[in-house]
Amino acid sequence: EDQVTQSPEALRLQEGESSSLNCSYTVSGLRGLFWYRQDPGKGPEFLFTLYSAGEEKEKERLKATLTKKESFLHITAPKPEDSATYLCAVHAFYGGSQGNLIFGKGTKLSVKP
Amino acid sequence: DAGVIQSPRHEVTEMGQEVTLRCKPISGHNSLFWYRQTMMRGLELLIYFNNNVPIDDSGMPEDRFSAKMPNASFSTLKIQPSEPRDSAVYFCASSPPNYHYEQYFGPGTRLTVT
């Protein structure tokens, strides 16, 4: 069964303390891996798409990387406004089926000033 | 640009009542998705439409749930009759042509069934 596991479930950082969030997946055929940010009371907001191992994407203090079994979201010198839940999702290929996104349960990041 | 619009934002109803959730996707987007989010199960896809046609409804929990998309700018998710276990946040999302998985989510409808 296809699975997406995110760790840790929650992460508390001091402002400026860099760290990484992990998304590990087991799918039969990865077509793409997606990172979303979700603020309390809001819908997820699209951040990045990664398609192949070795690929990297950056946006401000965030950098996403992909290997054959996991993805990391690196946060460099975070600020309080980076506090949110970060969701990872994978699109897996099922033979002739288009497949759908499978979401992890997210990592809740809190950045204290 | 207006994002995905959902209504109502909050709905409290009693068990057995009919509930209708509404969604207006982003103009120009041709795929529309309905998701449900709970603490226990996370974000789950219920159904998605492509060019107003339902493509995959395998995530719809049971016959009490139904969804329609009569035109490119409107969709509904109906629960009849509602049950307490349906309590969750329901999200609608849309995506543009050729970028099916870069989905833009609405603010969600928080449903409470008592």
Token code pair at residue B47: 């159904």
B61 touches B88 (CB < 8 A) = no
Considering only CB atoms, A43 lies closest to which of B48, B56, B108, namely B108
Give contacts of A 31-60 with B, CB under 8 A.
32, 34, 36, 41-46, 49
CB B88 within 8 A of CB B111: yes
Task: State the Cα–Cα distance between residues B1 and A75, nearest whole angstrom.
Answer: 29
Residues A90-108 have a mean pLDDT of: 75
Instruction: Report residue B14's pLDDT band, with 50, 70 and 90 as the boundaries.
Output: very high
Measure A18 CA to nearest chain B CA, in Å: 26
pLDDT > 70 in chain B, percent: 99
CA–CA dist B97, B72 (Å, integer): 13
* Averaged pLDDT, B82-89: 96
In this prediction, residue A16 carries a pLDDT of 97
The predicted pLDDT at position A3 comes to 84
The C-alpha atoms of residue B37 and residue B45 are separated, in whole angstroms, by 9
pLDDT band at A96 (very low <50, low <70, confident <90, very high): very low
pLDDT class of A97 with cuts at 50, 70, 90: very low
Asked whether A83 and A17 are in contact (CB, 8 A), the reply is no
Q: Are B3 and B103 in contact (CB under 8 A)?
A: no
Quick check: B37 pLDDT over 50?
A: yes
Q: Looking at beta carbons, which residues of chain B come within 8 Å of A107?
A: none
Picking from B9, B38, B100, B101 by the largest number of A CB atoms within 10 A of its own CB, the best residue to mutate is: B101
Cβ neighbours, 10 Å, residue A45: 15
